[in-house]
Amino acid sequence: MNKWFNVTLLSNKTTQTVLRLSIFAVLAVVCVLMFPRYNNAFRYHYEVGKPWGYAALTADFDFPIYKTDAQLQTDQQQLLSTFAPYFKYIPRVQREVKVVPLEAMEWLQKEGYSRITINQTKYPVSELYTPKSAYAKFGYDCAINLELDTARTEDMRSKLLATISPTQGMVQKGEKIIDKGEIVTERNYQILHSLRRAYEDESLGHRQRTLSIFGEAILVMLFLCLFVVYLYVFRVAYLRSLSTVSFFCLQMFIVIALACLALRFNLSVYLIPFAWVPILTRVFFDSRTALFLHFTTILITSIIVPAPVEFFFIQIVVGMVAVSSLSDMTRRAQLVQTAAWIFFAQSVAYTALSFAQAGLWSSIDPWMYLYFAICGLLTVGCYGLIYMFEKMFRFISSITLVELTDINSELLHTLAERAPGTFQHSMQVSNLAAEAAKAIGANALLVRTGALYHDIGKMTDPIYYVENQIGAENPLLKMDPRDAAQVVMAHVTEGERIARKNHLPEVVINFITTHHGTSLVRYFYNTYCNAHPGEQVDETLFRYPGSKPSTKEGAILMMADAIEARSRSLKEYTETSIAEAVNQMIDAQIADGQFAETPLSFKDVEDIRRVFISRLVAINHHRISYPALNK
């Protein structure tokens, strides 16, 4: 049976691993399929006025130098200036005067034709009349006797234009095209463009295109594999989470797809807010992962963008600024500030890079600053994506945590009304826990939020808990210790029910279910044992259902909750008595194995002890007695 169970468990684990890795594989395939195919074989990127950033380029084969559109248009205009449209006589109409319709005369003047052709003979346009001009000239009405031969005119015009050569000269195999570092001139650009056309010509065959796509696929897979290796070495918990892997891949897909669309529609790739990736990842996870995911995304995008070195340089700056300016997003205004810093950093990086490459003011494209500004505005739109991804993947952001810590919220307001003692206890616990979290580098905002809600289950029957009795008799003392323990422990399950009813995030609910772990309700357990000496006591009747905390934040809350309650029972508040109470409580929890599943280190525990002692001493400090006024 155990062997079958182990085999099944291993099979499920393997299936989940394959599924997570398959998401990355699907992303790689989709990226390659989305890539624009306009420059499959020719992988060089160049701009007039900027240096050639590759090794010296020589021709691998003979190819013609294609004329520019402006040159072709000039050749056409020159050739058409000698063209004479074809007209024909209308049968059975007098031919003494050449009369054409007014529309035909206006068309000839508009197109700039100086001659026409009638029966293979050329006549100047000045010999043509319209009915009106003929009457003015000869004093009598003249019938229209000529009409435009549209079909023949178009045919002869097309044949004439077909004689124009689209090329001017040839580049011989082995001829040097451009040297490394050489500034790309108009002539260089024309030759490079001609080489690009030659590479993209279907006559080059399918093999080169296939190899190009294969190379793209290998590069994309390489970049994604490096990211997976990073997760495996430094963030294995992320790699084991299907939702987290899906989140990372979805982010990359969105911005890469937007970049591909921009390139297909001849838009600037700098309009795309690549900062979404590091911002979203930083909001939900950590800075290192945010940067690594951003670098992976822009490496993949660099395969298809023009001037990839410039693009990669600027986007590295964007990622670093986004992560640095958004260390902990708790206010919406921070996103606007981050967008402004990104715009400034992009502008400075682009300007500096342009000067470094060309050393000319003319190398600056003013439109780039407009693209950066639009990109900055789109970056602010990331706020809506934060909310969407929170709901989609059940993540929680600092913004949501800040909203949950509002003590005027409906749930916390109800807790303060129904169980004021529990509410005050939760406030004190949240302050203690947040300070301890800061001391060991844990998430202080998260543990503060969890502490505010950890005892909401006590709202149902607040009178059973001593902090809410305000001098009244404790009804639990009249009950059997076993039943009393069940009543006390019920606040955990009741708190989970209330939390789910109010749609609290799962990470907050986790604090409610783990803040006592599987510890004993020690007061009633000891009471029962003392009343039944020698009896084998079933501890499960006095143990919380758990589970145990699995994070540093969960462990901190368990300590803070127990220590804050213990501190209220001290007979005297001195540094010695407080330190003794703190150490006893934490040592008991450690001995009970409550922190066995958390990543706390010995140093973390010692730092937490120190913070708790100093904070409790400060809270319970002595005040001077004010003398009475003698009358």
Residue type (1 letter), 267: L
Task: At 288, list the tokens.
Answer: 């290192």
Q: Where are the domains of the chain?
A: 2-34+208-393, 71-162, 398-619
Say which amino acid occupies 611: V
For 192-201, 244-253, 546-555, which range has the lowest pLDDT when averaged over its residues? 192-201
Res 328: pLDDT: 67
Q: Three-state SS across 343-403?
A: HHHHHHHHHHHHHHHHCCHHHCCCHHHHHHHHHHHHHHCHHHHHHHHHHHHCCCCHHHHHH
pLDDT band for position 618 (cuts 50, 70, 90) = confident
Q: What is the C-alpha to C-alpha distance for residues 234 and 221, in angstroms, rounded to an integer?
A: 20
Q: What is the dihedral of CA 573, 579, 582, 584, to 10 degrees?
A: -110
* Highest mean pLDDT pick, 195-209, 215-229, 329-343: 215-229
**Residue 74, H or E segment:** helix 69-80
Q: What is the pLDDT of residues 153-181, one digit of tens each?
A: 999 999 998 988 888 888 888 888 888 77
First to last CA, the chain: 89
CA–CA gap between residue 545 and residue 521 (Å, rounded) = 11
Q: Alpha carbon of 454 to those of 9, 504, 604: distances in Å?
A: 33, 12, 22
Q: Give, as one character, the DSSP assignment of residue 180.
A: T
Query: In this structure, what token pair is assigned to residue 427?
Result: 């406030």
For residue 139, give the nearest of 174, 182, 97, 171 by alpha carbon: 97
Q: What are the backbone angles phi and psi of residue 214, rounded to the nearest 5°? A: -60, -45
Instruction: Please write the tens of the pLDDT for every residue from 280-319.
Output: 999 888 899 999 999 999 999 999 887 788 899 999 999 9
The predicted model gives 72-101 an average pLDDT of 88
Q: What is the pLDDT of residue 181?
A: 73
User: What is the per-residue DSSP string for 295-348?
Assistant: HHHHHHHHTTSSSHHHHHHHHHHHHHHHHHTTSS--SHHHHHHHHHHHHHHHHH
In the chain, what percentage of residues exceed pLDDT 90? 49
Half-sphere exposure of residue 374, counting CA atoms within 13 Å on the CB side? Answer: 11
Q: What is the pLDDT of residue 314?
A: 94
Choose between 434 and 334: higher pLDDT. 434
Place of tokens 């809410």: 468
3-state SS string over 222-249? HHHHHHHHHHHHHCHHHHCCHHHHHHHH
pLDDT bracket for residue 5 (50, 70, 90): very low
Contact 123, 115 (CB under 8 A): yes
Highest mean pLDDT among 11-25, 40-54, 96-110: 96-110
How much is the average pLDDT of 50-72? 81
3-class SS at 148? strand
More confident residue, 230 or 180: 230
Q: How far is CA 541 from CA 70, 256, 517, 614, in A?
A: 91, 57, 14, 36
Residue 480: pLDDT over 60:
yes
Q: What is the pLDDT of residue 2?
A: 52
Is pLDDT of 9 > 50? no
Average predicted confidence (pLDDT) for the chain: 87
Q: 256-260, 327-331, 565-569: which range is least confident on average?
A: 327-331
Confidence at residue 621, expressed as pLDDT on a 0 to 100 scale: 59
Do 611 and 603 contact (CB within 8 A), yes or no? no
Question: Which residue in 536, 535, 541 sits closest to 481, CA to CA?
Answer: 541
CATH architecture of 398-619: Orthogonal Bundle (1.10)
Q: What is the pLDDT of residue 123?
A: 92
Q: How many CB atoms neighbour CB 612 within 10 A?
A: 28
Whether pLDDT at 327 is above 80: no
